[in-house]
Amino acid sequence: MAESKSTPITPELYDYVVAHNPPLNAAQRGIVELTHQRLPEAAIMQSAEEQGPLLAFLVRLIGARHVVEVGTFTGFSALSMAQALPEDGTLIACDVSEEWTAYGKEAWAEAGVADRIQLRIAPALETLRAMPAEPHIDLAYLDADKAGYIAYWEELVPRLRPGGLIAADNVLYAGEVVDPAATGSALAIRAFNDHVRADERMESVMLTVADGLTLARKR
């Protein structure tokens, strides 16, 4: 068995990490807090606080202009990426909930980036399949229903430009991916992880960020 060098994350250490990352701006902080206030039981679906600056960093790192997000919820991650895009950049946000994304639309407008975000309320597979088939996506963020991950991946990869990235969230699924008796979403994520590792079109790394984040680059 491989030896882990990971440091256990206590609440105090987590606060330390967050404090040493780029701070959330007022718009980001506002949507994080509003989500916990208005949707306390669903707020677990929001990307972790440290993932906002990370996603923005990736957008700037690769000079992304065309971003696709599969699973938007209340819009924190979309906001974080849109703010890092150039003024003429675009982000297509895929979700099925008008109720949840309404919070995001308000936050995007207040932050002055609503013109960069195209919200598509429809099953994500329909939205992805309606996109141009040629490579044009610079960065995709996958954080939606776990049973659909492989199908989303297969629509995204051909549309990803060489050197483009896919970031997939929740790839550890609270540790359940290593449970031999895993079912449902945990089993779907385990199948997705195996699918990604076997995909010769991409090179990938799995990171222990939040609930697990895989970064995959198109060869």
Render pLDDT for 112-155 as a digit per residue (tens, 0 to 9): 999 999 999 999 999 999 999 999 999 999 999 999 999 999 99
Closest CA to 54 of 81, 87, 85, 31: 81
| Residue 43 per-residue DSSP state | G
Residues 167, 153 contacting (CB under 8 angstroms):
no
For residues 202 and 219, what is the distance between their CA atoms, to the nearest angstrom?
5
Each residue's pLDDT tens digit, 83-115: 999 999 999 999 999 999 999 999 999 999 999
- Contacts with 16 (C-beta within 8 Å, 6 or more apart), sequence order: none
Question: Is 11-218 CATH 3.40.50.300?
Answer: no
Each residue's pLDDT tens digit, 154-188: 999 999 999 999 999 999 999 999 999 999 999 99
What are the domain boundaries of the chain?
Answer: 11-218
Q: How many CB atoms lie within 10 A of CB 87?
A: 7
Q: Is the pTM of this model over 0.85?
A: yes
Instruction: Encode 32-70: b = buried (16+ Cβ within 10 Å), e = exposed.
Output: bebbeeebeeebebbbbbbbbbbbbebbeeeebbbbbbb
For residues 78 and 141, what is the distance between their CA atoms, to the nearest angstrom?
9
Mean pLDDT over all residues of the chain? Answer: 97
